[in-house]
Amino acid sequence: MGNSVAGEKRIFDMLVGLVPDDAVVLDVSVGIFWTYVRTQYGSAVSATAHRWIEDPPGAVIPMAGELCGQKVRAISGLYDSASLTARSLANAAVSASFPSSEMTGTRIPGRAQDILTSLCSRERRHIALIGHFHFADDLRECGHTLDIYELEGRCEPDDIPSSRIPELLPRADIVLMTSSTILTHATEEILSCCHKEACKMIVGPTVPLHPCLWAFGFDAICGSVIHDDEQVSRAVREGGNHKQLTGCEKVNFMRPAV
């Protein structure tokens, strides 16, 4: 499976270094569930993470009301804010700075769940889910060993606190992480804890679709492409959830050698 060659560099830092100098925010919406940004190069959404990690008291988004017209590089520093809302904005802006057509790998239609099912079809596997996924019960019913890791304070019965990832994650041969780990700055640490032969997947609209992510060792990158900017922007402003973003299409990319 894929091995990381990216060293200690963060995914976001590598992406920022590739953002065109003239990339400018043309439209932005910060909703209850999603943050949407459009530039002249593309558009993207990112989870509005304050729903599950509260922003610190007094947190604000700098330049709110004046974001349109700002260069993406100028607001990329918000990724290191204590506010996850601000991090989401920075991530969406950077993600929107690359045309989705530049993404490489083998494009596979369908859901990330279908890819996972295919990987597990021949034998029982030890699967680690970083975050909650609706198909967890289906995996258990198929006889797979399942570990679900969640942030402390959000654990449900039988969940494993994320603090135990360094200790327990190496035993999994398939690791599927939510793309929201990008906002909690946890993605790179999770990857470093995986067994070197494990299949590593990242899933969700928050993941940037850029070929540089392959350098971090992913075997599958499952995100979203926006086809109808007007619908997505409006739905985000009106508090729409993922099912209400009908202008988005789920897309999956596999490392060709997998």
Which residue range(s) make up the domain with 69?
Answer: 11-101
Alpha-carbon Rg for the chain, nearest whole angstrom, is 18
Mean pLDDT of the chain: 90
Q: Tens digit of pLDDT for each residue in 215-235?
A: 999 999 999 999 999 999 999
144 confidence band (pLDDT: 50, 70, 90): confident
For the packed helices 11-18 and 84-95, what is the interaxial angle rounded to 10 degrees? Answer: 40
Q: Tens digit of pLDDT for each residue in 167-181?
A: 999 999 999 999 999
Least confident of 4-8, 67-71, 159-163, 186-190: 4-8
**171 domain residue, yes or no:** yes
**2 domain residue, yes or no:** no
Q: Residue 5 above 60 pLDDT? A: no
Determine the pLDDT at residue 91: 98
**CATH number for position 176:** 3.40.50.11590
Cα–Cα distance between 221 and 136 in angstroms, integer?
Answer: 19
Residues 89 and 174 both lie in one domain: no
Number of domains forming the structure of the chain = 2
Cα–Cα distance between 251 and 18 in angstroms, integer?
Answer: 22
Cα–Cα distance between 189 and 231 in angstroms, integer?
Answer: 35
**CB under 8 Å to 57, separation ≥6 — which residues?**
none
**235 domain residue, yes or no:** no
Position with higher pLDDT, 152 vs 253? 253
Q: What is the mean pLDDT of residues 36-52?
A: 89
Residues 114 and 79 both lie in one domain: no
2 confidence band (pLDDT: 50, 70, 90): low
